[in-house]
Amino acid sequence: MSVTNLNSSTTPFITLGIESSCDETGIGLYSQQDGLIAHQLFSQVEVHREYGGVVPELASRDHIQRVLPLIKAVLEQGKVQLSDISAIAYTAGPGLAGALLVGSAVAKSLAWSLKIPALAVHHMEGHLLAPLLEAKQPEFPFVALLVSGGHTMLVEVEAIGQYKILGESVDDAVGEAFDKTAKILGLGYPGGPALAALAQQGTEGVFKFPRPMTDRPGLDFSFSGLKTFARNTFAKHPTQKADIAKAFEVAATQTLMIKCRRALEQTGRKTLVVAGGVSANMALRDELDAMGRKAGVEVFYPRQEFCTDNGAMIALAGHLRLIKGQVSTGNEITIQPRWSLEDLQIV
């Protein structure tokens, strides 16, 4: 049975988005006519807290429990029937294989039963497009800084699906460095927001951390050294946690800003899009906004709740791909745990 044809009676399109790549089950509903009409999120923070990080098997099991009730809740919130849905977008990768399989299995089964397309979405494309959920939207082309727990990337964006990676982390992602540094300081999980909160109580300049890889050309990043710097500083100054948190945050955010400025100069673009979990960080936003004002560059972010993982961005990415002609990936329950953003043609 073909599931690739859109049912013309269901236009304007409504796309259901399912995110389950890591430790958040996110569901979104995006209407061609009204934009984002509903979204729901269940964060597994409490499931993983006692382990100090995400336990993949527990993540998969929890997604299984949450995904159908959340879909039901989103349909009720959006006042939409299952039969009104035109397509189902799901995060196919990158991410934890077991967690991705839950979203893929639900999306494929539901799409098959409704005879509508199931669209595979790249998690980082979801992040990258999240600022398009806001009233004030960036226009293509632009440079994107993607900063999450798993990735740190500078991307030249021509259009949806046309991405060139200008630089990326050669070791830890910046979110990972926030999380690991938070753990060193005894802040628990999830570390990024806790470290940012502690940094607000610290004094800038007490400790000076390096700005890794800014003294040489290129747009790649390296953040694992900052975490080591934090560990060594903490060993010598165990009572100055807040100042260490501040020094780490300033170094990480200024490093990101320097590389963004370089990418904008190199490409000649005047629009910067910043997305992914770390784009919620206010110190980073202040740093990038100040750079943007000086360089005549407009900077766009998602709203706070759409910086971290969510289903709204997957629904939107699926919707944009649907109207550009992407067809279903078929009935097989497939995932792509490793998947480059550069391999994203619209098919």
Interaction pattern, residues 164-193, with ligand KG4; x per rule: CB under 6 A: -----------xx-xx----------xxxx
Decide which of Zn ion, ligand KG4, none touches 280; Cβ closer than 5 to 8 Å per partner kind.
Answer: ligand KG4
Pick between residue 85 and residue 243 the one whose CB is nearest to ligand KG4.
243
Pick between residue 148 and residue 233 the one whose CB is nearest to ligand KG4.
148
H or E, element range at 345: none
Establish if 17 lies at the interface with ligand KG4 (CB under 6 A).
no
Quote the distance between the C-alpha of residue 25 and its chain's center: 13
Establish if 93 lies at the interface with ligand KG4 (CB under 6 A).
no
Which residue from 248, 57, 24, 53 is spatially nearest to 127, judged by alpha carbons?
24
Q: Which stretch binds ligand KG4 (CB under 6 A): 81-89, 233-241, 274-282, 327-335?
A: 274-282
Least Å distance between CB 149 and ligand KG4? 3
Reduce the DSSP state of residue 301 to 3 states and report it: coil
Establish if 280 lies at the interface with ligand KG4 (CB under 6 A).
yes
Choosing from 25, 44, 86, 148, the residue that interacts with Zn ion (CB under 5 A) is 148
Pick between residue 243 and residue 249 the one whose CB is nearest to ligand KG4.
249
Angle at 256 between CA 121 and CA 304, to 5 degrees: 55
Pick between residue 87 and residue 99 the one whose CB is nearest to ligand KG4.
99
In sequence order, what are the beta bridge partners of 165? 155
User: CA-CA-CA-CA torsion for 241, 226, 131, 103, nearest 10 degrees?
Assistant: -90
CA distances from 100 to 19, 27, 59, 90, 338 (A): 8, 14, 10, 9, 11
Residue 296, sorted as left (phi over 0), alpha (psi -120 to 50) or beta, turns out to be left
Q: How many CB atoms lie within 10 A of CB 168?
A: 16
Those residues whose C-beta lies under 8 Å from the C-beta of residue 211, and which sit 6 or more positions away, are 251, 254, 255, 258
Q: Which stretch binds ligand KG4 (CB under 6 A): 216-224, 270-278, 291-299, 329-337?
A: 270-278
Establish if 196 lies at the interface with ligand KG4 (CB under 6 A).
yes
Choosing from 144, 278, 297, 322, the residue that interacts with ligand KG4 (CB under 6 A) is 278
Q: Peptide bond before 210: cis, by omega within 30 degrees of 0?
A: no
Establish if 62 lies at the interface with Zn ion (CB under 5 A).
no
Q: Residue 71 — φ and ψ, nearest 5°?
A: -60, -45
Q: Which stretch binds ligand KG4 (CB under 6 A): 60-68, 152-160, 212-220, 272-280?
A: 272-280
Q: Which stretch binds ligand KG4 (CB under 6 A): 80-88, 99-107, 162-170, 271-279?
A: 271-279
Pick between residue 51 and residue 158 the one whose CB is nearest to ligand KG4.
51
Reduce the DSSP state of residue 155 to 3 states and report it: strand
Footprint on this chain of ligand KG4 (rule: CB under 6 A): 22, 148-150, 175-176, 178-179, 190-193, 196, 276-278, 280-281, 308-309
Footprint on this chain of Zn ion (rule: CB under 5 A): 148, 309
